[in-house]
A = this chain, B = another copy of it.
Amino acid sequence: HMDSIGFTVRYFNQLLSIGSPDAEMGTKLVGHDSFGPIECELEFDKEDHAFYKFGRLIERGTPLTYKIDFRVSEEFIETAYLDNRLGIYNALKVAETLKDGVIIFSCWEEHGGGSVGYLADFIYKKWGVRQALISDITWITEGVEHGKGAAISLRDRNIPRRSFVDKIIHLAEENNIPYQLEVEGMGSSDGGELQRSPYPFDWCFVGAPELGPHTPNEKVHKKDIDSMIALYTCLMKKL
């Protein structure tokens, strides 16, 4: 998916969430309205309602996102919106050598969905595709760590068909690509939308884990990105 999370400007200086942003007081937000470019600060009141602090009124309905502060070290990348810029980066890297397969860029995953149903209808009817990998970014947890490879998700709030997930695990093993198994009870992805669509798709979430999801400081280990690209390159050939 191609979404950013963030805020919509409401009346007065109120902000409404797009998706579920997780940022501190003082976080820099950017956008633009018909009066020009905007760089303002995020504030909260005691009831945790979000506001903006800016020298002028911002037009109703203007979307605001985190100001990008891209940081790269020997091992890590850290910035806003690695979820899901890295999922897209992975798709584009895989596209460089892809011979047979469809790459889908979806939207609205972060705030209620709505594009996957139509996209699934299209690719199912046009090419008979019935298997999907969700190229997205997941979280560091007690069981999923930085640098140990892309996470193959056995479940989140939704549960993919076990035989399909097993095929993916076996292909990772066979090809010596580092991976981690994730088991989550919360969270969802475009896989959930595919699951509920009236099209018979198998799906599995495969993606690098990050620290600080939905904050301006999402952090991913470079090895996990490499593993993700290697795994997708292999899976798009052999699944």
Contacts and interface: CB of A to CB of B under 8 A. Distances in A.
Interface of A: 8-12, 16-18, 60-61, 63, 108, 111-114, 117-118, 120-121, 141-143, 154-155, 157-159, 162, 165, 181, 183-185, 192, 195-200
A112 B192 contact: yes
Given A16-B184, A155-B16, A183-B11, A196 B113 contact: yes
Contacts of A112: 157-159, 192, 195-196
Top 3 A-B pairs, shortest CB-CB distance: A11-B143, A117-B198, A61-B154
A183 B60 contact: yes
A114 B18 contact: no
14 contacts: A8-B154, A8-B185, A9-B183, A10-B183, A10-B185, A11-B141, A17-B185, A18-B159, A60-B143, A60-B154, A111-B158, A112-B196, A113-B196, A117-B197
A91 B122 CA distance: 32
A183 B159 CA distance: 31
Number of copies: 3
A170 to B, nearest CB: 12
A10 B184 CA distance: 7
Contact of A142 (B12, B184, B185, B199): B12
A198 B118 contact: yes
A112 B63 CA distance: 29
Nearest to A195: B114
Contacts of A192: 112
A30 to B, nearest CB: 17
A200 B106 CA distance: 13
Contact of A196 (B9, B114, B200): B114
A192 B113 CA distance: 10
Given A8-B159, A112-B195, A113-B196, 10 more contacts: A10-B143, A10-B184, A10-B185, A11-B183, A61-B155, A63-B162, A111-B159, A114-B197, A118-B199, A120-B198
